[in-house]
Structures are given as C-alpha cells and as structure tokens.
Amino acid sequence: MSHSTVPRSSTEAETPEKTPTASGDATGFREKPPAGKLSLRHRFRRDRVLVLMTLPAVLLVLVFNYLPILGNVVAFQDYDPYISDNGIVSILNSPFVGLENFQRIFEDSAFWNAVENTLVLFFVQLLLFFPIPILLALLINSVVRPRVRAVAQAVLYLPHFFSWVLVIAVFQQMFGGAGMLSQLLRQNGYDGIDIMTNPDTFPFLLTAQSVWKDAGWGIIVFLAALASVSPDLYEAAAMDGAGRRRRMWHVTLPALRPVIALLLVLRVGDALTVGFEQILLQRDAVGPGAGEVLDTFVWWNGVRNQDFGYAAAAGLIKGVVSIGLVLAANKVAHLMGEQGVYKK
Amino acid sequence: MTVVIGKPADEPRPWAAPPRPAWEEEPSRAGLAGKAIALTLACLAILIPLWIVVVTSLSSRKTIDEVGGLVLVPKGITFIAYRELLSGGQVTRAAIISILVTLVGTLFSMAVSVLCAYGLSRSGSLGHRWILMTLLATMFFSAGLIPTYLLVQSLGLTDSYLALILPSAISVFNILVLRGFFMEISQELIDSARIDGAGDLRILWQIVMPLSRAVLAVITLFYAVGYWSAWFNASLYLNDQDMMPLQNVMIQLVQKQEAPVGLGQDIKTGQLSGLAVQMAVMVMALLPVAVLSPFVQKHFKKGMLTGAVKG
Amino acid sequence: MTPNAASSGPSRRSFLASTAVATAAVAGGVPLLSACGGSDGGSRDGTTSGKDAKKILPAFVARTIVKPDIPSKNGSAIGFTGKLDLATLKTSVAKKLGKGGKVTIMSPFWGSPPKQNNAYYRAMNDLIGVDVVWQNQDGNTYDQKLGAVLASSDVPDVVVVPGWNMGGKIPSAIISKFADLGPYLSGDRVKEYPNLAAIPTDAWQRSIFGGKLRGLPMPQPSAPSMVPLYRQDIFEKEGYEVPKSCDEFMSLAKEITNARAKRWACLDMKWTAFQAFGVLSGSEKPLGWNLVDGKLVNRVETEEFLEALEWSRKLFAAGVVHPDSKMGKNAPEPGPKFAAGEFLIYPNNISQWWGRTAEQATQNPDFKIWGMDIWGHDGGSPTLWAEQPAGIFAFVNKKASESVIRDVLAVANVTAAPYGTKEFMMTNYGVEGTHYTVKDGVPVKTDQGNIEVMNAYPMVASPAATLAHPDFPEVAKGQVEWQQRMGAFARRSSFWGMQITEPARYTNLSNDFEQLEDDIVRGRKKISDMQQAVADWKSKGGDKLRDWYQKLLDENGSAAS
C-alpha cells in the first residue's frame, strides 16, 4: 500500500494483496522476523516503552473481559445479592448449590423456548439477510458514474450509524399500529395493521430492521473483493465468448467465495447471539413467547428478577456452546479449504 | 474517479468504468433501467422514513392533526417542538450528557487504542505475541452479562459515568485495524527518526499518526458512534434518571410515548403535538451521525478492509 | 424464575396523586414454584399477627380536622364534597420537625416527573424543614431498578416499594436492608408524630416485615380500586348506554368501534373481566388464595379465571380494542388518546378519574370522564374481592442515622396530614398563586400545578384513605359513591390484611402468569397453555405452597368474610 499523505481519491483502488482474497495471515500475526540472539534484557530495554504503551488496553481487557469470568461461579450458587453491599462479598458469602441451577434450566420450558427462538431467528436472518449485501454490492459495483456511486454509498451506509433505539423508533413510526402504513390504509378505507406487535412475523420484522440498518454497510467487504478481481480475467473470459452472465458465474462469484465463507463462519460462530439490544427493546411488544432469546432470557432472570445464579448458569451454557460453535465453524471452513478466522 | 498515481490507468473494474473496454457488450436498456430502479428504491427505503421524521418534527400541531399523524408533505415549518425540548429540560440535559460522554469516551478510547496499536506494531518485540493473544482471545468469548454486571457494580461504578465508558472503552477489532495501518508505515522512516534520537512516543505523534489520518478518522467515528448510540449500559448501571443520556430518554419518549419532563401537561391537553416532540428527539439523535459519517465515508473501506485482513 | 410482578397493570400508569387515592390494585403475577429451590429464608417467612403484632404496632389516635361529608362505608375512602374554607385551614404540624438534613428518596413515578428543585418541591421542603431530594424512576419498570439499587452499596435514605414489586428476592432485601422503625413509632412513641398516629392500624399491620415495623404505609380503601372509566360526554352525545353484562359490553363495543375513523371501544379490559367474573385478586400473592370448602384455592386454578381471559380475548379478536393495547407493557400512556376519543373505555385506578378530569379541564371543557359500575358477567351482581388496606410502603435505609430517620418521619408526618389542614393542601395542591388559583373559594390547579404537584410526596405516608377534590367535588362524590356501591359486593379473601413473606424457595421460581395472561388475551397463546402452566405450577411446588399457606391459616386464623 502506498503511503503518500496525498489523500487517495478512491479507497476502492485497493491493490489485490490487501483484500481478503489475499493469503494474508488472518490472525494478525506476521511472520516473526529472525529474532537473532538478543538477550531478554536487551529486548526488554529496547521494547519496554512499547509494552508500557499496551498496558492501559491490556488492563482494561483484563479487568472487564477476563476478571468477570471468575464471576461465573455464581452459576453454581444460590446467589443472594442482598447479603452485602458488594457483589464480590456477596459471592463469597452465598451458598454453593452444585448443579442445581443447571438442573432447573433444563426443566424450564421458558429456557427451551428461548433456545428455539434464538435458532429460528438465526436461520431466518441467515437466509434473508445474508444475500442482500452481496446483491447490493454487485449492483453498486456495476454503477459507472462515480458521483452516483458515492451518493448511493453514502445513503446506504448511513443507517449503520444509527442506534437501535432510533432504528426501532423509525420502524414503529412507519409500521406501528399508529404508524404511516396503518394511517395510509385507514385513510383509504382499509383496517390498519400493526406489524410491530405481531409475534408470528417477529423474526421477519427483526430481519427487516437488520437489513435496513446494516445491509448497506455489509457491502463494503464485497465491494473490495470485487475490486480485487483482475480485469484481465474478465477480458480473457469475454474473449472466450463468455457473456455477462457467465462472467458473473465464473469470474465474479469465485472471487467472492472466500469472503462469503469467512463471513459465514463468523456468523455461525455467533449463532446464539442474535441482536440482543434490538430484541430487548421489542421483547415486551410481542411478549416473551416470540421475543425471548437466550440473551434476553439471561437479562430477564438476572437483572430483572435478581435470580443471578440462574441467569449466570444460562449465560454460561450459552458461552460454552458459542465457543464450541466458533471452533466447529472454523474446522468446517478449513475442511472446505478456506481460511476461516484463524489458522490451524 | 481520479486515477491514483502508480496504478494502471484503467480502473480495476473495466466494465464499470468509462470508457468501456472493447470486449464488453453494450448494456441493455432494460438492464440499465432495472438497475436504476433497484438502486433508487434501496435509497428511498432509507431516505423516506428519515424525511418523514424530519418533516413531522417541523410541523405544527394543526398540520399533524389535519393529516391524522405523520406528515409526508410539509405545510409550513415551525421549530416549536425543538424550542420546547431545548429550553433546558430533560432532553436538553440528556443531549448534553450524551455529547460529553461521547467526547470524553472517544478521546479516552482513541488514546488507549492508538497507544496499544503502536505498542504492538513492531513484530517480534518483547511480549508482543502474548499481549496480542490476550486481546484477540476476547473476540471469541464473553464472560457473560451477569458476571460483568456484578463486577461493575462491585467496582462501585453504579451511578457513575465511568460505567458508560470503561467497560466498553476498547474494541479489539479497532486496535487491530490501527495496528495493521501502523505496520504498513515505512520502517526506514521510523528507523531514521530513531537514529535522530526520537523516542517511541514522539515517533507515534510526529510520524505515525500524521501518516494515518484516514484510519484515525474512521476509528474515531466508530468509537464516537458507539458512545453516542449506547443505551444498554446506562439502563443497567445508572439508577439516577437525571443522569440518563439521550438514547435512554428517547426510549421513554418515543418507544413508550411518554411526555418529556415538564412538557407533560402541554401534550396531554393537546397544546403541543406529542408526535412532533417525539420526532424532534429522534432528529436530535440522528443528526450528529448523519452529518458526520459522510465526511469519513471515503475512508471506510480502507479501515474495514485492513481490519478484515489483519484481524 | 421469579414472578413477573413487573408489567403494567393499568393503574400503575399515570397514577396521579390525590392523596389517599387507592393505588394499584392490580398487577403482580402469582408466583410459580418449582421443585428445587434455594435455601429457605429461615424465620424470615410467614407473617406477624396477634400478640406479637400488638407489641410492635403504633398506637392509634384518631384525628379529624374536618368532618367528612361522606363517611367511610363498605371499605370506601372518606369523601369530602363540600366547599373547603381555604382561609381557615388548620395547622396539623405545630412546629417544624425537620432538622434541616438532606434525605434522598427513591420512588416510582407514573407519567412525566417534574423538574428537580421546582417550586412545589421547594415549598414542601420549606414546610417540612427537610431537604428532600427525589430519585424518581419510571413506575412501569420500577422493579428493574429496585433490585439493582437494593443490591448496591448506594441505597438511598428512603426507598418506596409498592406491594406488587415485592417479587423474587425483594422481600428478603426489605428485611435485610431497611431499618426497624419500631423504636420510633411502636406504641405511644408514635404520638410524637400525631398525623402518623392517625393512620389506621390496618395499614400499619401491613407494614410489619420480618417481625419488625419497617414500612411507612400509604393507606388505601379496601373497596375495589380498578374502575372501568369511560367518556361520558361521548356516550351521551352518541346515546350509548352503560353496559350491564359482558354480552351488553361486547355489543356496545362493536357499535362504538370504527377503526377507519380511528375509534375503538376500549383498551385491554382484562382487569374489568377479572372483576366481572369474580376472579380472586392478583394484586398480591397472598390475596390470590382463598379457602373454598375447607381447601385453599389459588386464583389461577379457578374456572372464573379462565372465563375472564377467554372473554377478554374475544374483545381483542373482535377488533374493538385499540391497537396500542397490543403493545402490552410498551403501550403509550392512555391519556392523550383517550382525550382525543380514539377509545372510549379503559380500566384503570380510580385516581385517574380525577386526574384526567383535572388535566383536561382548562383546554377541553367538553371532556367528561366517569366510572362504570362493574357488572356481573351474566348481568347479575358481581363478586368482588377486597383490596389490602395499604399497598405502597416507604422504607428507611438501615444505615441511616437517627437524625436522618427523624427527618424522614418529619416528612411523613406532613404528608400524612388529614384533609382540611394546611399541610394537606400544600401536599396535594401546592402553593396558591403558583400551582392553583382560587376561584369562588375553590382551588383550581394551574398548568404548572398539573406538572409539578404529582404523586411523589404522598408515597412517603398518607392519611387514612381520603377522596377530596375541592376543584371537582362531583368527581370526589362519584368516586366515593362508586367505591361504596362496589364495596358492598366485595368480600375478603383468607389472607386479607396480612403482610406475608413467602419462603424464598417458592418466590425464586415461577412461570410468568401475568405474561401468559396477556399473551392469551392478545391471541398469542391458548387457554390450554394456561391450563398446562397451572398443572406445571402445581407439580413444581404450587401444592406445597398451598400446604404452607394452610399452616399459616391454621396458626393465624382467616380474614375471610
């Protein structure tokens, strides 16, 4: 990549080796340069400032990402938040109950309902959301005029930066019982409809919101992959008599394959996390029957009902299964000959 | 599209860039029209709701009553809803809080992230691998909502704005993006500076950061948007309603359709349109983002991509 | 899981404070139980009655400043409908008891809270001699914050807890986090605070938690408090008749509804349905039990419960319910749309009868809200169940110093002042000239009064249930008479009047009955789902809880009437 300070006219002008199709090291590790035989002391003297610079970030991660792992012991406790004024003291003083919380969870139909909703949502989102950014990227990519392209991109990216609160508010104004759609229907002699509170269509509502908010943003990666395809390939294909459609099939799509695989792996690894904030904001409108997913189940039982041990147990189950999913998805990616998230 | 020096004169996507290469077919009329329609629809789907929100927020109660709700075609503009909201009540306070939290939080996040990214940008440096591992691993697990909640509470951060900043201060992804950029900077430049006696902090400040303005802009935007949009931590860790940021107030006002503090009576008796007030709050929440993000837009891809490659 | 005492019973919305207005009678799912639970709370569960209670309860010293125009009957509030001579208001607090300290109070709030440090709060604080700082929380989601605050090291000096928010582990938190007020109030000690001494003993009895007097009560009438409110002006204009049975209601609702003209008959009528079908109260877990033929029965096990749900469901299915109601807990405040005539009937706390009247009075002179009599579902007399004599309590932080506790009691002694006193007038109407003006000797609230003089202070403590609205005496009369007519149909269930703490192992686990009710009514779940949930509840511990209550009944006797 060039490093002139002259602003680049178009960031789309990526060189091929900077795109995900390139065989970069996806973990972020570069090949270690031969370290030589420098002594530890020497290296420490040389690098101590660098290490110090990472310290604030490392500290934050240790405190807010690693330390709480220990807090999962409450999953094995009948945790009483009111024993003391401090969570840690309360943990130390709460009785251990073994696997009782887990036993309760497995007997709890509400938990299984949440599991079911989570999986349904995952699949609906996967099927309906995933292809849209690809299609949009192909569309944008075929736009010739740079101005049109820049404006379209600006508009499509915009909702990504809106908060969920705002997105849901917008949807409510458009599709709620008193929203624009109902208003139009009523003015034209039909009954209004309320999409926002219908549990049967809730997964589709959520997907529509996700599409509105993030589909535009999702095209970036695909655009880059498309930009990386060498024009020679198209030309060669055209010379061989391949029409528009065949070039798309034999040149464009193979170029997108690694990105698609990578994103799919990431998505599957994250299957149990389906839009916590988005759903929490709408859970009450449709009721927990349709609106409870694993994350909101944890929130409801813990934060809302102070049944922390129970909620933590549910959270722990989710966390463990999620790690398993990430590993499994990567394995699949490797078997398919793709890069995955990290190397073997 | 101007041509980047050192690149072949023809763009890497010949079928999209004029002039059309000789081997490519002329696009069909229907195809072009289809594309134009699809693109226009996609953009309208985003813009029309925003238009309605803005127009309704600027409409008088009379107009809103006449059309029976949301306003598509403006009939006169009034700023009464904004005037009421910004006259020093709940919404004004919440907006100020959101702005301050966003400013302080973004500054803090950027400082920590840039330092860390630079600290990790020289491969083979001491502890480099371990530190990177420690950070990377957090992208694959989460300690869980409940333990995190108990920790923040135990640290005494309840009812403190620190609870809105510290737990979510850094994004490992953003650090990786920054690091990827820093690593691309010519080593000779840095080495020569070092020979001149510059320390790492000075190199970072005087050489690396000026060369990375684009990515710094993108990451700053990411962090700022994160702080501006956040509401969950506030709902979890703040008990004092007077401390709530704008998003949380918006939940009450728009989603639950409550009246802003002090304006309840005006809305209940119909002197002020509750709908216009809701819309005005929404506009206040979307305005900063909608204004700022297009400026940084041209750098998005660079930032996202480096992240995708390196991370 | 713990009981969902959370979602919005209508009465918790915009519960405007006239003083002793009855508070929420609704809400609170009945807790479900489960086979395995946490450790038992030891001696904390159960109730305190008889001799043990006598030792703790404050002495009662009646105090009537003005003779009520309508005395209490059938569990109603006392009513004042005559003109009040504002010039000769009595002073009930001889000297300022406050010592100038600062007291933070966390309380639920329905509607939009006034700004901090407004003219009303300042005037109240001046009168009391204590600097009260309010931490108002959204009343509809109060339980979310309550648990978090009680678990932190930062518990405010005073925390107001409504009975319907005492789910899950909250009862154990009340016992471990709040101070015993006995040393200040038990027996004759209360006489230092004469207005507190005038609070009826029934209400104090309910303030005993874990064997100690911990709460300051907000007395409420035991007569039903959930009223089907309707737009009398529109009814008259259109010639609609108030229905006398469920069938009549349904046909009226269909007549009223015209969705294209943005008019629906009503909001969710579940609460009215429970009354029409004679379902035991859901406002508090113990009230849901009653002795029938020698066996305790829970409200969810009754036929009436299912019938009421089915009828409410039919209303939704018929499309006569305003679409906002589908949103359940997220539904917007009913006020503006009721005023706009988008729906004509909704069940809510009796306090809204006056609240809506007052807020619309200046702008919409035609607006008239009135309460329907509750009908028996088949057109006969309804069977109603008595509400608790106190439902909202203020607690003092255990760590509070004596001087803070004294200051809190000073606040309570002012807010509990009876009708006809300067303190009552200030608590409920604010400052003359600022919050109300006097027209023909009648105080009329100004817009500022409607914003600022809301429901905060009365929740610290209130006098015996009182209905008095000098600005709208006909509303006060209508309210008291409604309570007396409906109170005549009200019976007491077996555990009426007791403050009962269930064993921790039962509170910890429950399914969401209230949520299930709402889902069924909205057509998202079936009646059979409820039957299944009740069967599960029984097997997971409902039957054991029944035994526990039976034992309690054997020890303490029944309150049933």
Domains of chain B: 28-78 (no CATH), 90-310 (1.10.3720.10)
C8 reaches A (C-beta below 8 A): no
For residues B262 and C115, the answer to whether their CB atoms sit within 8 Å is yes
Which residues does B138 contact at the CB level (< 8 Å), separation at least 6?
A: A61, A65, A66, B172
Instruction: Tell how far CA A322 is from the center of its chain.
Output: 13
Residues C107 and C163 in one domain: yes
User: Looking at residue A36, what is its pLDDT?
Assistant: 54
C10 located within any domain: no
Question: What subunits make at least 3 CB pairs under 8 angstroms with A?
Answer: B, C
The dihedral through the CA atoms of B279, B281, B284, B286 has a sign that is negative
Smallest Cα–Cα separation from C341: which of C228, C268, C270, C265? C265
User: Looking at residue C511, what is its pLDDT?
Assistant: 53
Read off the pLDDT of residues B136-168 as tens digits, 9 standing for 90 and up. 888 888 888 999 999 998 898 988 999 999 999
Tokens of C543: 């039957």
For residues C328 and A198, the answer to whether their CB atoms sit within 8 Å is no
Read off the pLDDT of residues C452-484 as tens digits, 9 standing for 90 and up. 887 789 899 999 999 988 889 999 999 999 999
For residues A263 and A292, the answer to whether their CB atoms sit within 8 Å is no
Higher model confidence: residue B63 or residue C306?
C306
CB contact under 8 A, C333 and B263: no
Contact map slice: C 64-123 vs B, CB within 8 A: 106, 111-116
Please list every residue in chain C whose beta carbon sits closer than 8 Å to the beta carbon of residue B265.
359, 447, 450-451
**Distances A88 to A93, A309, A311, A323, B154 between C-alpha atoms, Å:** 9, 14, 17, 26, 6
Instruction: Tell how far CA C498 is from the center of its chain.
Output: 16
Residues C361 and C406 in one domain: no
CB contact under 8 A, A187 and B68: yes
C21 located within any domain: no
CB contact under 8 A, B145 and A32: no
Give the C-alpha separation, B274 to B292, whole Å: 28
CA-nearest residue to A187 within chain C is C260
Residues C252 and C124 in one domain: no
The dihedral through the CA atoms of A332, A336, A337, A339 has a sign that is negative
Query: How many other C-beta atoms can be found within 10 angstroms of the C-beta atom of residue A60?
Result: 20
B308 pLDDT exceeds 50?
A: no
Read off the pLDDT of residues B13-45 as tens digits, 9 standing for 90 and up. 433 445 667 777 777 788 888 888 999 999 999
B122 reaches A (C-beta below 8 A): yes
Minimal Cα–Cα distance from B30 to chain A, Å? Answer: 14
CB contact under 8 A, B146 and A22: no
Q: Are strands C78-80 and C158-162 parallel, antiparallel or unpaired?
A: unpaired
CA-nearest residue to B262 within chain C is C114
Residues C219 and C230 in one domain: no
C25 located within any domain: no
For residues C330 and B256, the answer to whether their CB atoms sit within 8 Å is yes
Tell the burial category of C103 from Cβ atoms under 10 Å away from its Cβ (0-12, 13-18, 19+).
Answer: buried
Contact map slice: C 137-176 vs A, CB within 8 A: 143-144, 147-148, 150-153, 155, 167-170, 172-173, 176
Question: Tens of pLDDT along chain A (344 residues)?
Answer: 333 333 333 333 333 333 333 333 334 444 444 455 667 788 888 888 899 999 999 999 999 999 999 999 999 998 888 888 788 888 998 899 999 999 989 988 889 999 999 999 999 999 999 999 999 999 988 876 788 888 888 899 999 999 999 999 889 888 887 788 888 887 787 777 878 888 889 999 999 999 999 998 888 888 888 888 888 888 888 888 888 888 888 888 888 888 888 888 778 888 888 889 999 999 888 888 889 999 999 998 888 888 899 999 999 999 999 989 888 888 887 777 665 555 44
Cross-strand partners of C107? C136
Residues C379 and C440 in one domain: no
Instruction: Report the Cα–Cα distance between both ends of chain B, in Å, rounded.
Output: 29
Read off the pLDDT of residues C255-266 as tens digits, 9 standing for 90 and up. 999 988 889 999
**Distances B209 to B110, B114, B128 between C-alpha atoms, Å:** 12, 9, 21
CATH code at position C57: 3.40.190.10
B130 reaches A (C-beta below 8 A): no
For residues B257 and C332, the answer to whether their CB atoms sit within 8 Å is yes
Helix (H) or strand (E) holding A258: helix A253-269
Q: Pick from B90, B159, B266: which is nearest to C154 by CB?
A: B159
Smallest Cα–Cα separation from A224: which of A160, A292, A297, A133? A133
Please list every residue in chain C whose beta carbon sits closer than 8 Å to the beta carbon of residue B269.
339, 359-360, 362-364, 447
Task: List, as own/partner pairs, every contact residues C67-74 make where C-beta atoms lie below 8 angstroms and the sequence separation is at least 24, other chains included.
Answer: C68/C419, C68/C466, C70/C477, C70/C480, C70/C481, C70/C484, C72/C221, C72/C464, C72/C465, C73/C484, C73/C487, C74/C223, C74/C483, C74/C484, C74/C485, C74/C486, C74/C487, C74/C488, C74/C490
C277 located within any domain: yes
Please list every residue in chain A whose beta carbon sits closer than 8 Å to the beta carbon of residue B3.
9
C262 reaches B (C-beta below 8 A): yes
Residues C517 and C443 in one domain: no
Q: Which of A108, A196, A197, A310 to mutate to test the interface with C (most CBs of C within 10 A)?
A: A197
Please tell me whether residue A118 adopts helix, strand or coil conformation: helix
Q: Pick from C114, C336, C360: which is nearest to B274 by CB?
A: C336
pLDDT beneath 50, residues of chain C: 1-43
Give the 3-state secondary structure percentages of chain B, helix then strand then coil, rounded to 5.
70, 0, 30
Residues C53 and C95 in one domain: yes
Look at residues C418, C452, C481 and tell me which one is the last residue of a structural domain.
C481
For residues C223 and C76, the answer to whether their CB atoms sit within 8 Å is yes
Q: Pick from B158, B240, B258: which is nearest to C112 by CB?
A: B258
C3 located within any domain: no
Phi, psi of C402 (to 5 degrees): -60, -40
Q: Give the CA angle between residues C351, C357, C361 to the nearest 5°.
A: 155
Please tell me whether residue A32 adopts helix, strand or coil conformation: coil
Cross-strand partners of C109? C138
Please list every residue in chain C whose beta carbon sits closer than 8 Å to the beta carbon of residue B266.
447
B123 pLDDT exceeds 60?
A: yes
Q: Which of A61, A197, A221, A282 to mutate to test the interface with B (most CBs of B within 10 A)?
A: A61
Residues C251 and C130 in one domain: no
Look at residues C481, C504, C532 and tell me which one is the last residue of a structural domain.
C481
| Alpha helix segments (H runs only) across C57-141 | 119-128
C5 located within any domain: no
Query: How many other C-beta atoms can be found within 10 angstroms of the C-beta atom of residue C470?
Result: 22
Residues C377 and C403 in one domain: no
Residues C105 and C244 in one domain: no
C525 reaches A (C-beta below 8 A): yes
CB contact under 8 A, C333 and B259: yes
CB contact under 8 A, A304 and C143: yes
CA-nearest residue to C34 within chain A is A104
Provide the pLDDT confidence category of residue B57 given band limits of 50, 70 and 90: very high
| Residue C526: domain span | 226-385+494-556
Cross-strand partners of C501? C46
Give the 3-state secondary structure percentages of chain C, helix then strand then coil, rounded to 5.
40, 15, 40
User: Looking at residue A67, what is its pLDDT?
Assistant: 94
Number of structural domains chain C divides into? 2
For residues B309 and A24, the answer to whether their CB atoms sit within 8 Å is yes
B262 pLDDT exceeds 70?
A: no
CA-nearest residue to C41 within chain A is A80
Phi, psi of A5 (to 5 degrees): -80, -5
Look at residues C481, C503, C525 and tell me which one is the last residue of a structural domain.
C481
C22 located within any domain: no
Contact map slice: B 188-207 vs A, CB within 8 A: 199-201, 204
Please list every residue in chain C whose beta carbon sits closer than 8 Å to the beta carbon of residue B252.
138
Residues C332 and C423 in one domain: no
Question: pTM to 2 decimals?
Answer: 0.82
CB contact under 8 A, A284 and C168: no
Q: Which of B43, B110, B150, B233 to mutate to test the interface with A (most CBs of A within 10 A)?
A: B150
Tokens of B129: 């691998």
User: Looking at residue A210, what is its pLDDT?
Assistant: 94
Place of tokens 């109950």: A97
Cross-strand partners of C385? C491
Residues C325 and C423 in one domain: no
CB contact under 8 A, A311 and B146: yes
C38 located within any domain: no
